Every structure is written in C-alpha cells, then in structure tokens.
Amino acid sequence: MDKMPGWADAVLVPLISILLAALVSSLVILAIGESPIDAFGSMVEGALASSAGWGYTLYYATNFMFTGLAVSVAFHARLFNIGGEGQAMLGGLGVALMCLFIPWPHWSLAVIGSGLAAAAFGALWALIPAYLQAKRGSHIVITTIMFNFIAASLLNYVLVNMLRPDGAMEPSSGVFPPATQLPTFQDMFSTTDMVLFQRAPANVSFFIAVAACFVVWLLLWRTRLGYDIRSFGHNERAAKYAGINGVRITIIAMLISGALAGMMAVNSTQGEAERLLLNSSEGAGFIGIAVALMGRNHPLGVFLAALLFGFLYQGGAEVSFWTNIPVQIVIVMQALVILFTGALDNMVRTPLERVFLAFRRKEG
C-alpha cells in the first residue's frame, strides 16, 4: 500500500522541496546582482544564531502554529477554511475588549480571559460560514474568504469609531494596561548574569500554541469526536451511513478551527503589540494554509512547518535589514517556499515514489 517509507514522506519530500525553492531563490537573487550566499547567511545568522533571533522566529512560529492547526482541523473534515485571517482579526477584537475593559489583577488571569474571548470571537466568525455550508450548501471557500473582508471592515469600523484614542491618527486601540502584558521569553529565561532572548517578542503564548498542538492531536486521534471528524472527511456518505451527523460535524469542526485561528491574537495582540492594530493578523491566516499543507495536517508536522515559516519570516526581515535585496525579492523567496512545499508537493513526491518503488522491486 505505502509507496515509500514514512520518514521519506515526512522528511525527505519537504527537504527536497525546500532545497528546490532555495535553488530558484538563488537564481532570482543572482539575477538582480546580489549574492545568494550573503542572503542565506544573513537569514540563518539573524534567525537562528542568537537567542534574540530565535525569539523572533518563535514569535512568528507561534502565530503560524495556531493558524496552521486551524486549517488542519477543518481539513480533516474536508472543509477548506481560508478564513483564518478574518477569524484571527475577530480574535484580536476579543483580546482587546478583554484587556481594555476588564481590570485584570495579573497576566495569568488575563490570558485565560483573553484566550477564551479570542477563541469565542474566532469561533463565532467561523460559525456563519459553517452553518451556510452545512445547511445551505454554500461553499465554505467562498464564504470564508468573503468573511475575511467583512472582518477587516468591521475591525476598521470598531477601531476608527470606538477604540481609537482621541486625537490619534492611526486606526489602533489604546495600549493595554501593564497588568495584562504577557511575560516574554526574556522575562522567563534570563538570569541575572545572562540576558537571553533580548527584547524579542516571543512570549508565554508559545507554550499555549505547543499545548494546542498536543490537544489537537488528542482530539483528532484519541477521541470519538476526532474519529467522527476524520471519517466524515474521508467519506461523507459512509460517515452518514455509520450514523455520524454531517451538519453537526461540519459546524463543530469549523468552530474548533475558528477558535484556534482566533487564539493567534493572544500572541500577536496581547503578547507583542499590546494594543489592537488594524492588520494585527499580518497574513498569518493565509500562511496557515501553507503550514498545514506542508505539515500534512498533522499537529507535529504543523509544529515543524510553523518553525520553518517562522525562520523564513525572521530570516527575511534580516535579509532586508542587512543586504541590498529589496523587500519584494524577500517576499518572492518566501512565496517560492510556499509554492514548492505546498502547491508543487506532488512534483517532488511522484518521482520520489517511483525511485522508492524501483528500489523495492530490485530488493524483491
């Protein structure tokens, strides 16, 4: 049945895809007359060579873990949730309302409140497309992407007309009170002699994301609901025949998905910006799709893919800081990785499967 061993599927295919992306990126960089070695050097150095660099890499990775998990859960029910962006924006609104209007005594209580609010707002934003899909058959791809635009407009309205401090030009809320600010890695891991993760935005919500990876794994592979979700995704008719309620599964899967996407805001809004910004989701909702595809919709894969994308984001920033490569080329580099690992997955997989099959025939 299996054409190639599990390790090849999980490690070799993504690795070759990344190498191909790096190769094409090098050609692009050479074409504009810059050195690819300098570019990749500053990427690795800036993202991985110091604890501060890791602090940024993990900050981005936290965002991508939440949105990657969100896409994965929906995908197991064969629902393509591309509304992670909008759900994360609404999650940000939930976080902001919690932090601004409730006088929390300590961050540990605040993070529970804001996490629940973020999950609830994100889930509610996913509920309407889920209902329309389950009951009316409106395609979830169309409705979720439309809801991204509605979320952006709604957030803009709330920020400009309600949450913006008097006289401020920028559409953003006021700064959250100090009691709600989450401890960063610097606060947690630095000793008196050594400052680690200096001023990097990685914060306690990284551990929430890691816990979420584990909980999603438990849910999908160790509970009855997870079984229902996966069987519904594998074969809708067989699932119905087995007594699984399709409407219920569609809605529950989307609620979980939206809640996970919304929780991203705990990291970006409460952990980093400490105020609600108009584009606080920063495209992570869309990156989540690539993360889920690359991670094969498995929480462990999502975790690793999120780390890779965190590296790409932080490394990309370092490239624009210290080389003369313009930001547009950095985006091309990131897009090439997404293209090769996500969209062109089979381009690597199919020939590799043939190679493994050929080897096996020889052995047999």
Partner 1 sequence: MTLMQKFLGATATLALTAGAAFAEPALIYDLGGKFDKSFNEAAFNGAQQFAEATGGSFRDIELQSEAQREQALRRFAERGMNPVVTTGFSMSTPIANVAADYPDTKFVTIDGFVDPGAHPNVLSILFSEHEGSYLVGMMAAMASDSGTVGFIGGMDIPLIRRFACGYAQGVKAVNGDATVISNMTGTTPSAWNDPVKGSELTLAQISQGADVVYAAAGGTGIGVLQTAADQNILSVGVDSNQNYMQPGSVLTSMLKRVDVAVFESMSAGADLETGVKVLGLAEEGVGYSLDEYNASLVSDEMKAAVDAARASIISGDIAVHNYTTDDSCPVLDF
What DSSP designation does 77 have? T
Q: How far is the CB of 119 from partner 1 (least distance, A)?
A: 22
| Min separation Cβ 72 and partner 1, Å | 23
CB of 317 to partner 1, least distance (A): 5
Among residues 308 and 352, whose Cβ is nearest to partner 1? 308
Closest CB to partner 1 among 201 and 226? Answer: 201
- For the bound state, the minimum distance from the C-beta of residue 40 to partner 1, rounded and expressed in Å, comes to 18
Minimum CB distance to partner 1 smaller for 326 or for 351: 326
- Nearer Cβ to partner 1, position 170 or 187? 170
Angle at 295 between CA 320 and CA 120, to 5 degrees: 90
Instruction: Compute the distance between CA of residue 17 and CA of residue 12 in angstroms, rounded to an integer.
Output: 9
Residue 346: how many other CB atoms lie within 10 Å: 11
Nearer to partner 1, 48 or 357 (CB): 48
Q: How far apart are CA 327 and CA 320, in angstroms?
A: 6
Q: How far is the CB of 45 from partner 1 (least distance, A)?
A: 12
Helix (H, G, I), strand (E, B) or coil at 184: strand
Q: Indicate the residue among 277 and 289 with the shorter CB distance to partner 1.
A: 277
Of 293 and 329, the one with the shorter C-beta distance to partner 1 is: 329
Best CA proximity match to 51, nearest among 204, 181, 202: 202
Backbone angles phi, psi at 203, to 5 degrees: -140, -175
Contacts to partner 1 by CB under 8 A: 56, 59-60, 152, 156-157, 160, 167, 169-172, 175, 199, 201, 268, 272-273, 275, 277-280, 282-283, 313, 316-317, 320-322, 326-327, 330-331
Contacts of 358 (CB under 8 A, 6+ apart): none
Q: How far apart are the first and last CA of the chain?
A: 15
- The encoded tokens of residue 30 equal 């050479």
Q: Which amino acid is at 268?
A: S
Between 14 and 92, name the residue whose CB sits nearer to partner 1: 92
Q: How far is the CB of 170 from partner 1 (least distance, A)?
A: 5
**For residue 157, what are the contacts with CB-CB under 8 A and spacing of at least 6?**
none
Q: Least separation, in Å, of the C-beta of 85 and partner 1?
A: 13
Both structure tokens of 208: 């929430």
Kindly state the smallest distance separating residue 255's Cβ from partner 1, in Å. Answer: 28
In angstroms, the CA 80 to CA 294 distance is 15
Q: Do the beta carbons of residue 97 and residue 67 sit within 8 Å?
A: no
List of residues 6+ apart from 259 with CB closer than 8 A? 70, 119, 120, 122, 123, 126
